[in-house]
Structure 1
Amino acid sequence: MPAIVGAVQVIALGTSAVFNIGDVYSLSPISSAKTFSGAGSFNTGEAVHNLNHLSSTNVYDTDGIDQPIAFNV
């Protein structure tokens, strides 16, 4: 049965949000991301002690496309 929708006001959507109105058969959002982080970047806790004397993060990337999602439906 078709949906009848009145006025809709969207204030904000997140970067990976899905917004639909009415009848939907299938929703499949796709995203990809690349994260560069150094040693001890994702440590969480109240008392974290890291000893990273000579740490460096290599962010040099020779290829232009890492994870293509253009035709991934």
Structure 2
Amino acid sequence: MTAPQVIATIFFLISVGSATALALMAAASAALDAAAMTCDRLRPDGRRDRMGRVRDAACRLRRAALDRAAIP
């Protein structure tokens, strides 16, 4: 490969890596938003439903992710 091809390949790989990182961050943000909506949703009658375990797990996941992000 010639020098311009090597340089172009390096720039291409950096661009692909940046796009992949951006997509992963967007997916993580969407997952945290969905978990936040799940945690904030309350049943009107206050009873526990079958989805309670899933909701509790989503809330624990959200809290763990936010705690991990807060570490300096």
TM bracket (short chain): under 0.3
- The answer to which structure has the higher helix fraction is 2
TM-score by length of 1: 0.19
